Amino acid sequence: MGLVGYSYYTTSSSLSSLSEQNSDLNQQLLNLNQQVSNGNQQISGLNQQVSNGNQQVSSLSQQVSTLEQKTLTVVTQTNTVVNVETTTSLVTTTQISLVTTTQTSLVTTTQTSISSVPQSSLIMTGDSYNNVTHTFTFQVQNTENYIIYAQLSASLWGQTNFGCNGQAGTFISQVYTFNPGTVITTQLSLALGSYSGFCGGNPLSSIQANFVIPQSTAVSPTYTFIVVPNYTFP
């Protein structure tokens, strides 16, 4: 009987100890849950700060884009020497620094590639021939919005010799400057032609003329003129 009583006391003591351990574990679990909850709140707060920061960056980017568009508008609306005000936004993690530079000298020039000049750029709007000086005079208009530097080129035609096509010579003028939209006067003197005297003989009866830029790229239609009276070249 004494042995049975001792066994009952030991079992009750063990159950009490386990209960205390379980209580401690539950308290630790509650503490961990509270820490997790606090951590989640901190993460939520950090996410909100990041979101606010992203909104600030987005707003600053829009401001920079607006400033760049304003500057681009000023640049693209001019083709002369101008002074513009340039504003540049510099963004850091803690502040916005605006650096302003005024009276920035901007020089824009127009460059025309040969391949981009159409053949209808220069148009003859008038012509005359002086049979005393043997000189053709042409009024030529630049139909483009840029300067064109071109020469008057002509083939000179006479009587057919030796079964050739009858070309007696050629003519090339000095370089003319054709300003945008303007009409200037050019001349072709038959006396200044270069005559071969092989495929075409005297007298000279007609010419074919156009305007070219290097290297012999036509920038005008080809015009044909009759020489009346015929011209006898040297």
The percent of residues in the chain predicted with pLDDT above 90, rounded, is 41
Average pLDDT over residues 113-129: 85
Cβ contact 121:142 at 8 Å: yes
Query: What is the CA angle 71-75-78, rounded to 5?
Result: 145
Q: What is the pLDDT of residue 116?
A: 73
Q: Strand 183-189 vs strand 135-142: parallel, antiparallel, or unpaired?
A: antiparallel
Q: Which residues pair with 45 in a beta bridge?
A: none
Average pLDDT over residues 181-208: 92
Cβ contact 90:72 at 8 Å: no
Q: Which residue has the higher pLDDT, 112 or 80?
A: 112
Cβ of 223: how many Cβ atoms within 10 Å?
16
CATH fold of 114-231 reads Immunoglobulin-like (2.60.40)
The string of pLDDT tens digits covering residues 16-63 is 777 777 788 888 888 877 887 887 787 777 678 767 767 775 765 666
Give me the amino acid identity at 147. Answer: I
Q: Where are the domains of the chain?
A: 2-106, 114-231
Q: Give me the chain's average pLDDT, please.
A: 75
Average pLDDT over residues 199-205: 89
Cβ contact 194:170 at 8 Å: yes
Rounded CA gap, 205 and 135, in Å?
A: 14
The string of pLDDT tens digits covering residues 21-33 is 778 888 888 887 7
Average pLDDT over residues 105-123: 65
